[in-house]
Amino acid sequence: MANLQRPDGIAPHGGELINRIATPAEKADFLSKADSLPIVALDERAVSDLHMIAIGGFSPLTGFMNQADYDRVVVEMHLTSGLPWTIPITLSVTESVADTVEVGQYVRLNDPSGQYIGVLHLTEKYSYDKKKEAINVYRTEDEKHPGVAVVYNQGSINLAGPIWLLDREAHPLFPTYQIDPAASREAFKEKGWKTIVGFQTRNPVHRAHEYIQKCAMEIVDGLFLHPLVGATKEDDISAEIRMRCYEILIDNYYPKDRVILGINPSAMRYAGPREAVFHALIRKNYGCTHFIVGRDHAGVGDYYGTFDAQHIFDEFDAAAIGIIPLKYEHAFYCKVTNTMATIKTSPSTPEQRIHLSGTKVREMLRNGELPPPEFSRPLVAAELAKAMKVKS
């Protein structure tokens, strides 16, 4: 399947940028039926998925997956259309909730607070094998894995069908950084960028991130910093702190005309290799032509090999993926050359390298210690320490 190139940039996955935000007429119709529609309450992740489908971030999906697509994605990492897709996007409910809705109905979708935010046209209800999904998608059935835990705790019936989002409201925390796929594509076009590299993180930015971003910037027109602000693990650093760290970095250490900072509103799955491909396809929909894949992308614990997230791209036809993965070694500060480096560029031995795990950094911050400047920019480290002190 050939990649579709267009004069205004890379084509979305599947060739069309999906828009499932209700028109004024559709919204008025749905609101008029609000009291007569059966209700399904969404959790935080399902709300994120609803928004990502509606704005085109999950193109070509127009709704929650039917069984045919679900089965093929779980086992073969492709949709029934043949397009690569690695993560099931499903609306899972309990049997008791599933019994309240019938195929063919329109279903009112409420957020966790009870607000009416969307509509599902229910086309299918189906049961699924949770353990099979866990083993295939997450490569483990261990319930201690955060992604597996979500699967085991969610309902046993999936509701499928196209959706509508009633309103695309401003993000409550980051309204100025809410740049949806249509808007990011327009922003790239206005800047004259033909090649754009996307960067994903759920962690605070540090010098290794900065190094690989700037290496990538040498070969493209612009950098799209796109940190995830949807649901994450409880012990992850909050989105507010991570965004502030990026603001500091851009204000002080980046050429502002070559960087755009925007939020990725999707939820974290911690699916390692499969999620690396998923994240790349999302950035393709936002208009990126390249995507950075570093060490243990979207990993958690010891469930995945260090570079499994890079190797998985070799299992797909490159043209079908349609976005170029930039695969980087683990970066560190080299005491021999006094620069950031990787094993490809540094003559150092392991004891001559400075790299700290996220766990170690969090421990240092909780103890009132700042990570060394070789690991984190001092201004960023100070912001992290301040936030950690407040949290403690």
203 noted as active-site residue: yes
58 touches 89 (CB < 8 A): yes
The active-site residue out of 3, 19, 136, 203 is 203
**Tokens at 207, concatenated:** 């010098």
Nearest to 304 by CA among 75, 152, 140, 166: 140
Tell me if residue 361 falls in helix, strand or coil: helix
Cα 55 to Cα 75: distance, rounded to the nearest angstrom: 27
Whether residue 139 lies in the annotated active site: no
Residue 10, Cβ neighbours under 10 Å: how many?
A: 25
Judge whether 224 and 191 are in contact, CB under 8 Å: no
Report how many helices (DSSP H) and strands (DSSP E) the chain contains, helices first.
14, 17
Residue 41 and residue 91: Cα distance in Å, rounded?
A: 10
Contacts of 361 (CB under 8 A, 6+ apart): 204, 206, 371, 375, 376, 384
Q: Are 163 and 54 in contact (CB under 8 A)?
A: yes
CA atoms within 13 A on the CB side of 304: 26
Reduce the DSSP state of residue 11 to 3 states and report it. Answer: coil
Assign 110 to helix, strand or coil.
strand
Is 243:251 a contact under the CB 8 Å cutoff? no
β-partners of residue 78 are 84
**CB of 110 within 8 A of CB of 39?**
yes
Q: Please, are residues 22 and 299 in contact by the beta-carbon 8 Å criterion? A: no
| From 202, 207, 274, 377, active-site residue | 202
CA distance 347 to 335: 10
Q: Which residues are catalytic?
A: 202-203
